[in-house]
Chains A and B, each alone.
Chain A
Amino acid sequence: MATDVPRAPGRLVFPSYQRPAGVHPPLASPAYRSSVLRAPQRPPVPLAQGLTEVTGPLLGAERVTAADADLTTRHHGQPLGERIILTGRVVDSGGRPVPDTLIEIWQANASGRYAHGVDDHDAPLDPNFDGAGRCMTDSAGWYRFVTIKPGAYPWKNHLNAWRPAHVHFSLFGRAFTQRLITQMYFPGDQLFAQDPIFNSVPDPMARERMIARFDLAVTQPEWALGYRWDIVLRGREGSVFEPEEDR
C-alpha cells in the first residue's frame, strides 16, 4: 500500500493510530480467575506513538503456503466434525482494508479437545486434526479458512464452567499498534451467559462483534457451512476513508 503520509521539511511526519476506548476487556476481570494474579495493578503509562509503534512486522508470505488455510486436509484422513468455511475481511476503523497481513488461528477439535499436552479434558483427540492454520489477507483484506467447528469444553474457572465454541485469531495489521489477538465465536451459543472471558468485554455491542454470522452465500452445497466474520483493527487518526462496496 502506498503511504499517504505527507513529508514536511525539517521534521518527520508519520501516522498515528486511534486509541481504543472502552472496547477491550479490563485486564483486571476477577470473574476470570486467571487474571487475578496476572493482570497489572498499576495503570498503563501513556506513550506518545513513535516510529516503533506506527511501524510493525510486515511478514508472513514467506512462511505461509496455500495449504495452511485448510485445517481439514493436512493429515491422512479427514477430521471428524462439521466442516465449515470461515471468511471475512480485515479492515481498520477508517474502513481501509488491511491487505497482505498474516492471520494465525488455533482451535479445539470437534470434541472440544486441544491437541496440546496441557489439555486434560476427557474427550478424544482426533489424529486428523491439529487445529492450527494460517493465511495472508488478499489485496482487499479478505481471508478464508476451511476447518471444522470446534466443540465446547469444560474448564475449572468456576463450578460447571464451559467455554463457548471459539477459534483463536491472531493478527498483525500494519503497525505495532494494530496487533490483535482475539477469539471468534459462533452465533446462538447457549454458553455465552456463563462465560467470563466472553463477558469480560464490557459493552454488549462489542461482544456481538466477536460473533461470526452464518452465511448461506458462503456455504457450499453438499460440502461445508459458511460463516462470515469481519475484523476491525485500529485506524489512523484523521484519516477516514469510505469503505469500498461489499464484495
Chain B
Amino acid sequence: MSLPPSLPLALTPSQTVGPFLAIGLPWPDGPFVVPEGTPGAITISGLVRDGAGKPVPDALVETWQAAPDGSFAHPDDPRGPADPAGFRGFGRCPTDTSGRYRIVTLRPGAVPAPGGGAEAPHLDVSVFARGLLDRVVTRIYFPDEEAANGTDPVLAAVLADDRRATLIAVAEPGPGAFRFDIRLQGGRETVFFDV
C-alpha cells in the first residue's frame, strides 16, 4: 500500500515534438475548421521562421477560437450552453517544406474579457516544433478591427507598438484572406504569451 500522493500533484514536464511529428499529429481535415468554400470562411496563412530568418518546415500550428457569435463550444463558457452549430473552433496545420501553414475558418466574435469589457476578435495559437522544448503561444488579431483592437486588454499589455504589430494579421488580396507570419526569434520576434 502506498500513501495517496499529496496535493497538488506535480505536473508532467513538456518535451519537444521533435522532427517526426508528422507521423502522429496531422489530420486530413486539420487545417479546415470549416470546409473550404463555407460562406463567410476566411483563410489565415503564413510562414514560420527561425532566428536566422529561415523557414521552419517541421512545425505544427494549432488555433483555437470563439465562434462568430463569440461563444465557445465548451461547458466552461459561463454564458450557458452555446450552439455554434458544429463549429469546431480548432485548427491544426503542419508547416510544409517551405515553412508555410494555412487554416480555413470563420471569423471569431469578440469575447468578454476577464476583468470586464471585451477582447477583440482573436485566435489563440500554439506553435510546436523541433527545437521548441515547450509550445509557444501567441494570438492572431485582425487588421480591420481597429476600434476593438484599441480597447483590447491583451494588446494593451504589449507596450511597444512594433511588438504589438506582430500580433495583427495582414489583409491579403482576395476576400477573407489574411497573412500571419510567425518569427520564433530575432529582430521582429513574434510576441509570445505566458498563459
Contact = CB atoms under 8 A, between A and B. Distances in A.
A182 B112 contact: no
Contacts of B186: 41
Given A106-B24, A197-B16, A25 B134 contact: yes
Interface in B1-29: 4-5, 7-25, 27
A243 B7 contact: yes
Interface string B151-195: 001100110000000000000000000000000111001111111
B142 to A, nearest CB: 14
A46 interface: yes
Given A93-B11, A116-B23, A51 B157 contact: no
Interface string B11-54: 11111111111111101000000000000000000000011101
B147 to A, nearest CB: 19
Nearest to B192: A44
B15 A57 contact: no
A177 B19 contact: no
A55 B77 contact: yes
Contacts of B158: 45
A239 B128 CA distance: 29
B129 A38 contact: yes
Interface residues on A, range: 35 or more
9 contacts: A11-B116, A52-B65, A94-B9, A132-B24, A176-B195, A182-B12, A207-B13, A240-B8, A242-B4
Given A15-B76, A40-B192, A51-B66, A168 B18 contact: yes
A123 interface: no
A203 to B, nearest CB: 8
Interface in A60-118: 63, 91-95, 104-106, 114-116, 118
B115 A48 contact: yes
Contacts of A206: 10-11, 13
Contacts of B4: 242-243, 246
Contacts of B72: 51-52, 55
A158 interface: no
Contacts of B90: 56-57, 59
A94 B9 CA distance: 6
B20 A38 contact: no
B124 to A, nearest CB: 5
Contacts of A59: 88, 90
Interface in B119-138: 119, 122, 124, 126, 128-137
B131 A179 contact: no
